[in-house]
Amino acid sequence: MSAGPEPWQLLPTLSPEEYESLKADIASHGLRVPIVVDAASGLIVDGHHRQRALDELRSEGVKVADYRDVRRFADDEQRVAFVLAANLFRRHLSRAQRNELVSTLRERGWSLRRIGTVVGVAVGTVHRHLSGVPDRTPERVTGRDAKAYRARRPKAAPSVIVSTSRDEARARRALSALGDEASGLISLSRAEERARLADLARKREVAIAPVSQGPGYELRSGDFRQVLADLADASVDAIVTDPPYDTPGIPLFEDLAVFAARVLKPGRLAVVYAGHLELETEMELLARGGLSYCWHGVNVLAGRHTKVHKRMVFGWHRSVLLYSAGLYQPRSWINDLTWAEGRGGPEERPLHPWQQALEPVRHWVRSVSQPSELVCDPFLGSGTTAAACALEGRRFIGADVDPGCLETARQRLAEVKAETGDAS
């Protein structure tokens, strides 16, 4: 009876005439209804006939855009309920097919009222269809905590609408990471943002050592003003960092400058990412903290922009401030402009909502330090500077107040070291 081998496919296969009509409609008008894909398994929950028609049309040279709805379902019961709700209003079943469907649902433990609502018949009609079928309707259900609860209507399965196989994979990863924290229809970017925050929250629950060390790096948990206070004066070759430049974070620019002026070797540079709106204040605080202005660099953000509504400006670059400890002592030429890789979408920030592109950071690490020198990042975040140093052959030390970020950076560094074969 089913259109697919999965247990949620309870409806009959379309007749040849119905299928050809569907295929012709898709060829003329495209997919009117998305193909629904299970986020966990990648299997089609609803749309087997539409997928078959799509494949055949493409093999015949007909261009048809894909249209997918990636959803996370709790179990097969939720998949069954969705398939029936999505299809029964547009499927014309014979009396024998409807009787078979009602019997199957009753055997699955559905109540008479629930069956009647879904199938579109009165409860009395359902009762007549079920003559001789034992009543297996559960009055209570058992939750994940092993406690019994009164049966209730399940919440809507989380759903993300996408149009490409690449975005489908992104949606499946995001819904898998979200677990039970997602419900209802959400956008792909919002799902990925929630997934990142949920991942950080889970990592914060893991006990983190105050100091994590590996080949060529050291990560410290806590406020840099305390946990990096033991760094010797004039012991660091360069600082490359992305401090927070929201309103609460602006005052940290002065503390960063005080720290940098003390630990940097004379004439060496601090590369500081900066926000646009408070750029004047940020520069003033860096100078007040004891650093000397050297230059203003730019990261061009290819393929993306930030809408600064307050100034009605589309921002296509990130400001990068270069300040030195004392009088700057050039050691090599510096290119003050670099391009961020990719298109800057949420999928390119999988580890942290404020994650910076890797290639520009590698550019600045190369520009202001030499192999085997020590680079510091007091605002570790997802560990982009740490990864850049590992790839460029620099030693690294960094800190962050968020233990979730520290664990993310540690895992990222371990992966980079494994990829580069550096286990020393």
Residues 185 and 64 in one domain: yes
pLDDT over 50 at 36, yes or no: yes
Residues 177 and 246 in one domain: no
Residues 198 and 223 in one domain: no
Question: What is the H or E stretch that residue 127 is in?
Answer: helix 123-129
Residues 187 and 289 in one domain: no
- pLDDT at 157 (0 to 100): 63
Query: Is residue 128 included in any domain, yes or no?
Result: yes
Query: Is residue 21 included in any domain, yes or no?
Result: yes
- Contacts (Cβ under 8 Å, ≥6 apart) of 305: 314, 315, 316
Residues 238 and 375 in one domain: yes
Residues 197 and 223 in one domain: no
Sign for the CA dihedral angle at 144, 145, 148, 150 comes to negative
* pLDDT tens-place string over residues 368-385: 999 999 999 999 988 999
Q: In the structure, what pLDDT confidence band is assigned to residue 255 with cuts at 50, 70 and 90? A: very high
- pLDDT at 25 (0 to 100): 85
- pLDDT at 353 (0 to 100): 46
Residues 182 and 258 in one domain: no
Query: Is residue 2 included in any domain, yes or no?
Result: no
Q: Determine if the pTM surpasses 0.75.
A: no
How many folded domains does the chain comprise? Answer: 2
Query: Is residue 221 included in any domain, yes or no?
Result: yes
Query: Is residue 134 included in any domain, yes or no?
Result: yes
Query: Is residue 10 included in any domain, yes or no?
Result: no
Query: Is residue 4 included in any domain, yes or no?
Result: no
pLDDT over 70 at 4, yes or no: no
Domain assignment of residue 130, given as a range: 16-202
CATH number of the domain residue 227 falls in: 3.40.50.150
Residues 281 and 356 in one domain: yes
Residues 261 and 363 in one domain: yes
Strands (E) in 316-362, as ranges, are 317-324, 337-339
Spatial contact of 249 and 215, defined as CB atoms under 8 Å apart: no
Residues 44 and 155 in one domain: yes
Residue with tokens 């960092």: 241
Question: Cα torsion at 34, 303, 273, 406 (round to 10°)?
Answer: 30
